[in-house]
Amino acid sequence: MTQQPSMGPVEWLMLILLSVLWGGSFFFMKVSLAELPTLTIVFSRVAFAAITLGLVLKLMGQLLPRGFKLWRAFFIMGLINNLLPFSLLVWGMTELSSGLASILNATTPVFTILVAHFATSDERISANKIVGVILGLVGVAVLIGVDAFSGFSQSLLAMLAMLAMLACLGASLSYGLAATYGRKFKTMQVKPASVAFGQVTASSLLLLPVACLSIAPGRWLYRRSIPGRL
Protein backbone atom coordinates (compact mmCIF):
# COMPACT_ATOMS: atom_id res chain seq x y z
CA MET A 1 0.00 0.00 0.00
CA THR A 2 1.39 3.39 -0.98
CA GLN A 3 1.70 5.98 1.76
CA GLN A 4 -0.57 8.99 1.34
CA PRO A 5 1.34 12.30 1.25
CA SER A 6 0.85 14.53 4.27
CA MET A 7 0.94 18.31 4.60
CA GLY A 8 3.41 20.02 6.91
CA PRO A 9 3.54 23.64 8.20
CA VAL A 10 5.17 24.90 4.98
CA GLU A 11 2.47 23.34 2.79
CA TRP A 12 -0.30 24.74 4.97
CA LEU A 13 1.28 28.20 4.88
CA MET A 14 1.55 28.05 1.08
CA LEU A 15 -2.08 26.92 0.82
CA ILE A 16 -3.26 29.81 3.04
CA LEU A 17 -1.22 32.31 1.00
CA LEU A 18 -2.69 30.90 -2.21
CA SER A 19 -6.21 31.27 -0.76
CA VAL A 20 -5.56 34.93 0.08
CA LEU A 21 -4.18 35.71 -3.37
CA TRP A 22 -6.90 33.76 -5.19
CA GLY A 23 -9.71 35.23 -3.10
CA GLY A 24 -8.38 38.77 -3.49
CA SER A 25 -8.34 38.41 -7.26
CA PHE A 26 -12.16 38.38 -7.33
CA PHE A 27 -12.31 41.86 -5.80
CA PHE A 28 -9.78 43.30 -8.24
CA MET A 29 -11.48 41.66 -11.24
CA LYS A 30 -14.77 43.25 -10.20
CA VAL A 31 -13.10 46.68 -9.91
CA SER A 32 -11.41 46.27 -13.31
CA LEU A 33 -14.73 45.56 -15.00
CA ALA A 34 -15.76 49.19 -14.46
CA GLU A 35 -13.17 50.29 -17.01
CA LEU A 36 -11.98 47.37 -19.13
CA PRO A 37 -13.53 44.70 -21.40
CA THR A 38 -13.60 41.12 -20.13
CA LEU A 39 -10.97 39.68 -22.46
CA THR A 40 -8.63 42.62 -21.92
CA ILE A 41 -8.64 41.87 -18.18
CA VAL A 42 -8.00 38.19 -18.77
CA PHE A 43 -5.18 38.87 -21.25
CA SER A 44 -3.52 41.41 -18.94
CA ARG A 45 -3.64 38.91 -16.10
CA VAL A 46 -1.96 36.03 -17.97
CA ALA A 47 0.46 38.24 -19.93
CA PHE A 48 1.79 39.89 -16.76
CA ALA A 49 2.14 36.45 -15.17
CA ALA A 50 4.02 35.12 -18.23
CA ILE A 51 6.51 38.01 -18.18
CA THR A 52 7.04 37.69 -14.43
CA LEU A 53 7.50 33.92 -14.51
CA GLY A 54 9.85 34.19 -17.49
CA LEU A 55 12.09 36.50 -15.45
CA VAL A 56 11.86 34.15 -12.47
CA LEU A 57 13.01 31.21 -14.61
CA LYS A 58 15.94 33.28 -15.87
CA LEU A 59 16.94 34.24 -12.31
CA MET A 60 16.66 30.61 -11.21
CA GLY A 61 18.89 29.55 -14.08
CA GLN A 62 16.22 27.30 -15.59
CA LEU A 63 15.98 26.87 -19.33
CA LEU A 64 12.73 27.86 -20.96
CA PRO A 65 10.67 24.76 -21.85
CA ARG A 66 10.97 23.47 -25.42
CA GLY A 67 9.46 20.73 -27.55
CA PHE A 68 6.28 20.37 -29.59
CA LYS A 69 4.61 17.80 -27.33
CA LEU A 70 5.36 19.85 -24.24
CA TRP A 71 3.99 23.08 -25.70
CA ARG A 72 0.93 21.26 -27.02
CA ALA A 73 0.27 20.23 -23.42
CA PHE A 74 0.88 23.82 -22.30
CA PHE A 75 -1.70 25.13 -24.76
CA ILE A 76 -4.27 22.60 -23.55
CA MET A 77 -3.50 23.44 -19.92
CA GLY A 78 -3.59 27.17 -20.64
CA LEU A 79 -6.97 26.77 -22.30
CA ILE A 80 -8.67 24.86 -19.47
CA ASN A 81 -6.81 26.36 -16.50
CA ASN A 82 -6.51 30.01 -17.55
CA LEU A 83 -8.33 31.15 -20.66
CA LEU A 84 -11.70 29.46 -20.14
CA PRO A 85 -12.11 29.84 -16.35
CA PHE A 86 -10.73 33.38 -16.21
CA SER A 87 -12.99 34.51 -19.06
CA LEU A 88 -16.06 32.82 -17.57
CA LEU A 89 -15.43 34.26 -14.11
CA VAL A 90 -14.78 37.81 -15.30
CA TRP A 91 -17.85 37.74 -17.54
CA GLY A 92 -19.94 36.22 -14.74
CA MET A 93 -19.01 39.09 -12.46
CA THR A 94 -20.55 41.56 -14.87
CA GLU A 95 -23.88 40.32 -13.45
CA LEU A 96 -22.89 38.94 -10.02
CA SER A 97 -21.12 40.30 -6.97
CA SER A 98 -17.51 39.23 -6.38
CA GLY A 99 -18.63 37.50 -3.16
CA LEU A 100 -21.22 35.34 -4.89
CA ALA A 101 -18.79 34.56 -7.71
CA SER A 102 -16.19 33.40 -5.19
CA ILE A 103 -18.75 31.14 -3.48
CA LEU A 104 -19.68 29.57 -6.81
CA ASN A 105 -16.00 29.17 -7.63
CA ALA A 106 -15.56 27.35 -4.30
CA THR A 107 -17.31 24.40 -5.96
CA THR A 108 -14.01 23.69 -7.74
CA PRO A 109 -13.08 20.85 -5.32
CA VAL A 110 -16.43 19.19 -6.06
CA PHE A 111 -15.75 19.12 -9.79
CA THR A 112 -12.12 18.12 -9.20
CA ILE A 113 -13.17 15.11 -7.15
CA LEU A 114 -15.75 14.07 -9.76
CA VAL A 115 -13.36 14.46 -12.70
CA ALA A 116 -10.52 12.67 -10.89
CA HIS A 117 -12.87 9.83 -9.91
CA PHE A 118 -13.75 9.06 -13.53
CA ALA A 119 -10.46 10.07 -15.19
CA THR A 120 -7.93 8.42 -12.88
CA SER A 121 -7.49 5.08 -11.18
CA ASP A 122 -5.94 6.27 -7.91
CA GLU A 123 -8.18 9.20 -6.86
CA ARG A 124 -11.59 7.74 -6.08
CA ILE A 125 -14.41 9.53 -4.28
CA SER A 126 -14.43 8.78 -0.56
CA ALA A 127 -16.65 9.78 2.36
CA ASN A 128 -13.85 11.89 3.84
CA LYS A 129 -13.46 13.82 0.59
CA ILE A 130 -17.20 14.50 0.36
CA VAL A 131 -17.37 15.71 3.97
CA GLY A 132 -14.30 17.87 3.46
CA VAL A 133 -15.75 19.54 0.37
CA ILE A 134 -19.08 20.24 2.09
CA LEU A 135 -17.34 21.75 5.12
CA GLY A 136 -15.21 23.86 2.80
CA LEU A 137 -18.22 25.23 0.92
CA VAL A 138 -19.99 26.06 4.18
CA GLY A 139 -16.86 27.77 5.46
CA VAL A 140 -16.57 29.95 2.35
CA ALA A 141 -20.24 30.94 2.59
CA VAL A 142 -19.84 31.86 6.27
CA LEU A 143 -16.71 33.92 5.61
CA ILE A 144 -18.31 35.81 2.72
CA GLY A 145 -21.57 36.39 4.61
CA VAL A 146 -25.22 36.49 3.59
CA ASP A 147 -24.79 39.89 1.94
CA ALA A 148 -23.20 38.16 -1.04
CA PHE A 149 -26.61 36.71 -1.88
CA SER A 150 -28.42 40.06 -1.71
CA GLY A 151 -28.54 40.47 -5.48
CA PHE A 152 -29.26 36.80 -6.02
CA SER A 153 -32.87 36.84 -4.84
CA GLN A 154 -33.65 40.03 -6.75
CA SER A 155 -32.38 38.74 -10.08
CA LEU A 156 -33.02 35.03 -9.77
CA LEU A 157 -35.38 35.04 -12.76
CA ALA A 158 -33.13 37.22 -14.89
CA MET A 159 -31.63 35.22 -17.75
CA LEU A 160 -28.30 37.03 -17.61
CA ALA A 161 -27.93 36.35 -13.90
CA MET A 162 -28.62 32.67 -14.43
CA LEU A 163 -26.12 32.54 -17.30
CA ALA A 164 -23.56 34.33 -15.13
CA MET A 165 -23.96 31.74 -12.37
CA LEU A 166 -23.61 28.94 -14.92
CA ALA A 167 -20.47 30.65 -16.22
CA CYS A 168 -18.92 30.67 -12.74
CA LEU A 169 -19.80 26.99 -12.30
CA GLY A 170 -18.34 26.32 -15.74
CA ALA A 171 -15.11 27.93 -14.57
CA SER A 172 -15.05 25.58 -11.58
CA LEU A 173 -15.54 22.59 -13.88
CA SER A 174 -12.70 23.83 -16.08
CA TYR A 175 -10.42 24.10 -13.04
CA GLY A 176 -11.38 20.54 -12.10
CA LEU A 177 -10.41 19.30 -15.55
CA ALA A 178 -7.13 21.22 -15.35
CA ALA A 179 -6.27 19.78 -11.94
CA THR A 180 -6.55 16.27 -13.36
CA TYR A 181 -4.83 17.07 -16.66
CA GLY A 182 -1.97 18.74 -14.76
CA ARG A 183 -0.83 15.32 -13.54
CA LYS A 184 0.50 14.84 -17.05
CA PHE A 185 3.40 17.22 -16.39
CA LYS A 186 4.62 15.13 -13.47
CA THR A 187 5.05 12.14 -15.76
CA MET A 188 6.83 14.42 -18.25
CA GLN A 189 9.15 15.53 -15.42
CA VAL A 190 8.49 19.22 -15.96
CA LYS A 191 9.19 21.50 -13.00
CA PRO A 192 6.22 23.43 -11.52
CA ALA A 193 7.70 26.85 -12.37
CA SER A 194 8.11 25.80 -16.01
CA VAL A 195 4.54 24.46 -16.10
CA ALA A 196 3.21 27.76 -14.75
CA PHE A 197 5.25 29.77 -17.26
CA GLY A 198 4.25 27.55 -20.17
CA GLN A 199 0.51 27.63 -19.54
CA VAL A 200 0.22 31.40 -18.99
CA THR A 201 2.43 32.06 -22.02
CA ALA A 202 0.23 29.78 -24.13
CA SER A 203 -2.87 31.52 -22.77
CA SER A 204 -1.40 34.92 -23.65
CA LEU A 205 -0.73 33.84 -27.23
CA LEU A 206 -4.26 32.49 -27.58
CA LEU A 207 -5.82 35.64 -26.14
CA LEU A 208 -3.68 38.31 -27.81
CA PRO A 209 -5.59 38.66 -31.12
CA VAL A 210 -9.01 38.43 -29.46
CA ALA A 211 -8.08 40.90 -26.73
CA CYS A 212 -6.87 43.42 -29.33
CA LEU A 213 -10.22 43.22 -31.13
CA SER A 214 -12.20 43.60 -27.88
CA ILE A 215 -10.53 46.84 -26.80
CA ALA A 216 -12.63 48.93 -29.24
CA PRO A 217 -10.85 52.32 -28.69
CA GLY A 218 -13.67 54.39 -30.14
CA ARG A 219 -16.25 52.80 -27.85
CA TRP A 220 -13.95 53.22 -24.84
CA LEU A 221 -13.40 56.91 -25.61
CA TYR A 222 -17.15 57.39 -26.03
CA ARG A 223 -17.79 55.92 -22.60
CA ARG A 224 -15.07 58.06 -21.02
CA SER A 225 -16.43 61.23 -22.63
CA ILE A 226 -19.79 60.98 -20.88
CA PRO A 227 -19.60 61.85 -17.16
CA GLY A 228 -20.91 59.10 -14.92
CA ARG A 229 -21.25 56.59 -17.77
CA LEU A 230 -19.73 53.10 -17.17
pLDDT higher than 60, residue 66: yes
Cβ 94 vs Cβ 37: under 8 Å: no
pLDDT higher than 50, residue 1: no
Predicted structure pTM score: 0.74
| Residue 4 phi, psi (nearest 5) | -70, 135
Position 224 scores a pLDDT of: 45
Domains of the chain: total:
1
Residue 206 in any domain: the answer is yes
Share of the chain above pLDDT 90, in %: 22
Give the residue among 153, 170, 20, 38 at the shortest CA–CA distance from 93.
38
Cα-Cα-Cα-Cα dihedral sign, residues 90, 95, 100, 106: negative
Residue 85 in any domain: the answer is yes
Range of the structural domain that residue 142 is part of: 38-213
Position 227 scores a pLDDT of: 44
Residue 156 in any domain: the answer is yes
Residue 143 in any domain: the answer is yes
Position 223 scores a pLDDT of: 46
Cβ 171 vs Cβ 42: under 8 Å: no
Share of the chain above pLDDT 70, in %: 82
pLDDT higher than 50, residue 217: no
